[in-house]
Structure 1
């Protein structure tokens, strides 16, 4: 009887640990992506240059702010 209880506790602990680990890693990944978006200033400049525009620093910063703001709004919608 004791061995059954130990096995049940081990399975429950394994499932709880897995769920907790997935949840923590998702939160950490989202936090890192919000702080360091995959698009940086150089990528925005390259995209604007490929469209035939010579972007100013103000335009680049404006695009980056818009990207960050839309990511925050999307995050708020999910909650």
Structure 2
């Protein structure tokens, strides 16, 4: 094979690797955030206290459930 063909093959392989790597990394990140949400119950409790609200368990559970349901809505 000539040098020009090898260069074209290398460029095609780089482009394909980049595209495949992007989608694999994106899927892994979505799964990670789905399994480990960035805000948990303790963080919500702390935020409510800092805003001057006394967090009741009912209100806290509603907020946590609302956030969990929102994570599920973004899945396609």
Taking structure 1 as the reference length, the TM-score comes to 0.80
Match of 2:11 in 1: 11
* Number of the residue aligned with 1:62: 62
Determine which structure has greater relative contact order: mean sequence separation of CA pairs < 8 Å that are 6+ residues apart, divided by chain length. Answer: 1
- Judge which range, 10-19 or 64-73, deviates more: 64-73
Moved over 6 A (4+): none
Structure 1 residue 41, shift from structure 2 partner:
1.3
| Greater helix proportion | 1
Q: Deviations over 1:5-39 (max 9, x none)?
A: 11111110011001111111011111111111111
Aligned length: 76
SS state at 2:30 partner? helix
Partners in 1 of 2:55 and 2:34 — Cα distance? 24
Task: Give the Cα–Cα distance (whole angstroms) in 2 for the partners of residues 11 and 35 of structure 1.
Answer: 36
Q: Which ranges in structure 1 are unaligned for 5 or more consecutive residues?
A: none
* Root-mean-square deviation (Å): 1.7
Q: Secondary structure at the match of 2:4?
A: helix
Please show how residues 1-79 of structure 1 align to structure 2 within 5 Å. 2-73=2-73, 75-76=74-75, 79=76
User: TM-score by structure 2 length?
Assistant: 0.83
